[in-house]
A and B are shown apart, each in its own frame.
Chain A
Amino acid sequence: MATTYYSEEHEWITIEGNTGTVGITDFAQEQLGDIVFAEVTKANEEVTKDEEVAVVESVKAASDIFSPVSGLISEVNVLLEDAPETINSDPLENGWIFKITITNPNELDDLMDLDSYNKFVESIK
């Protein structure tokens, strides 16, 4: 069964087997505003937890996306090339950004479940 974890950088990662699908949360897309460009800069690369692996740009500014876990970036969401605004309209499903083959499942313990994440968001609002 798929389990979803959340980071303090406002990313979500859904784990199925040893593959994680990563996107940004609804709170994050709301804060960023209208997204006009998204790019995974470390496609097909080995990355470590908290490394900058992608960038999303709103009308206002560019924001780095950090990998919530270590692993190999195995796939990027090609839909975002032509429709980056999908991250705004559907951040938790079709607006996913990349998939990663995780190398250290223990790192998931550092992440939050939905309940903890929601409390975290409330605390920073």
Chain B
Amino acid sequence: MTEAQLKLSPINDLHLKYEARMVPFSGYSMPLQYKLGVKQEHIHTRTKAGLFDVSHMGQICLKGDEVKDELENLVPSDIKSLNEGEMRYTLFLNKEGGILDDLIVTNAGNHLFVVVNAACRHKDIKFLRDNLRCDIEELEDRALMALQGPISENVLEMLAPGVADLKFMSSGEFSICGAECFITRSGYTGEDGFEISMPSMMAEEIAETILSHEDTELIGLGARDSLRLEAGLCLYGQDINEMTTPVEANLGWTVGKRRRKEGGFPGFENIIRQLKDGVSTRRYGVRPDGRAPARAGTEIFDLEGNKVGDISSGGFGPTVGAPIAMAYLDSPSIETGSKVSVLVRDNLLPATITNLPFISPNYKRN
């Protein structure tokens, strides 16, 4: 895809003003980093507040009398029990229980508000249209920004009084700069924070207003990736795909309690069998013992030299201060604490299998 064909974010001019290094990402021209650089942007988000443009993600409104029941036919989570304002991370599944995309569903009162991955949005819209009878509207005139980090609450409360009262994974309608915004207390960094859906026309003004707070910085996709990796969160297409099930991905918790009994979602039989009998491959954390990062695609061997898996995401965790990775590994032969070797540039380097995440999340649950 040439640069001319790339779609632009509603705040593209702002990215250029703040000297972003723009890269093609899922058909959009998006900021990889700004002047601070990936490491400092990462640390800034963990210690203060970072503003991320995630307008490339798909925002979808689902409306209809039976919309919750209909959506439950496509995902393993309990959607019917979501009270107004509550939200849930869930997965679109295929008939085998493979993951078609990961998404967030919010009960926005008279509709469900759904956020899907940029790379999957066209596929997801088709999937929804093929399977749901309710109204499906892609909100193409809305921008989406995330404000993440421990002081996000202070920054946003000044602009949208009342957001401090939102709990993790809940939402509400607020006004910022006179614009109607839908704000959720969520994100994908392991930090407390918010995602703000806003009219595209107002996005630049709102972003500048948030950035006028001295402890707020723009953060690019580079730091978004290292932040979510430290938080043990999956990147669709890399850590999860159509060939992985929720159980293999260690996302079995997305399968609701009621849904385990009642079923009625794609791949139900396979997933219930895996929950009961276990799986032959599972997602774990990996900590290389040395300083060399082990990137996606790196092969993993047990101490006898047998291949036991591959790294799906890997890099350096600036907060951890060491290389970190996620991998799919043979189960149950490999488990937390297992010593393995990672093959980096033809050298077998020692590494240890760990639980996820690598950092303690800082969500505001109460």
Contacts and interface: CB of A to CB of B under 8 A. Distances in A.
A81 B291 CA distance: 8
A59 B291 contact: no
Contacts of B316: 36-37, 57, 59
A95 to B, nearest CB: 16
Interface in B313-342: 315-316, 318, 323
A34 B39 contact: yes
A33 B33 contact: yes
Interface residues of B, number: 19
B33 A57 contact: no
B38 A60 contact: yes
A33 B37 contact: yes
Nearest to A55: B345
B264 interface: no
Given A57-B316, A59-B222, A60-B222, A33 B292 contact: no
Contacts, number: 45
Nearest to A41: B345
A37 B317 CA distance: 12
B interface SS class: mixed
A37 B291 contact: yes
B292 A37 contact: yes
Contacts of B39: 33-34, 36, 59
Nearest to A84: B291
Contacts of A78: none
A59 B230 CA distance: 12
A59 B345 CA distance: 17
Given A33-B37, A33-B222, A34-B40, A62 B318 contact: no
Given A59-B316, A61-B295, A84-B291, 16 more contacts: A33-B33, A33-B37, A33-B38, A34-B40, A34-B318, A36-B39, A37-B323, A55-B345, A57-B293, A57-B316, A58-B38, A59-B38, A59-B39, A60-B38, A60-B222, A81-B291
* 7 nearest CB pairs, A to B: A34-B39, A36-B316, A59-B38, A59-B316, A33-B37, A37-B291, A57-B293
Interface of A: 33-34, 36-37, 39, 41, 55, 57-62, 81, 84
